Structure 1
Amino acid sequence: MKKAYEQEIEMWNRVFEECILVDLRNLDLKVEPMFDEALKLFAEKTTKILDFGCGTELV
């Protein structure tokens, strides 16, 4: 299992290696009005989630 996990990390590192990181913490961002409702509905109907690593850590 660890090897598969490491392969996934390597794959996503390749995918994002050319991306330019942007620090959004000091920006006033707004989401669509129905975003919270969509998340609530999604959470109620979903039993499995694939997390693509949308964390806040800047490398």
Structure 2
Amino acid sequence: MAPTGWRYALLVWAYALLSFGVASMIKIAVYRLLDHREARQERHLSRVEGNLMPHATKFR
């Protein structure tokens, strides 16, 4: 089998580094979305619990 050469080797490395960067940016964006989700869910659950049990004592 003949060697592919430096041109294709560098192309593969460039693709790998570029895809790593894109995947990292997507991962960071998803982590930020998931981090803010807890506050939204807590507000929603407090409204739902308040409507279902208006006279119950809340433990929060």
Q: TM above 0.5, one fold?
A: no
TM-score normalised per structure 1? 0.31
Bigger relative contact order, structure 1 or 2 (CA pairs below 8 A, ≥6 apart): 1
TM-score normalised per structure 2? 0.31
Point out the structure with max Rg over C-alpha.
2
Structure 1 or 2: more helix by fraction:
2
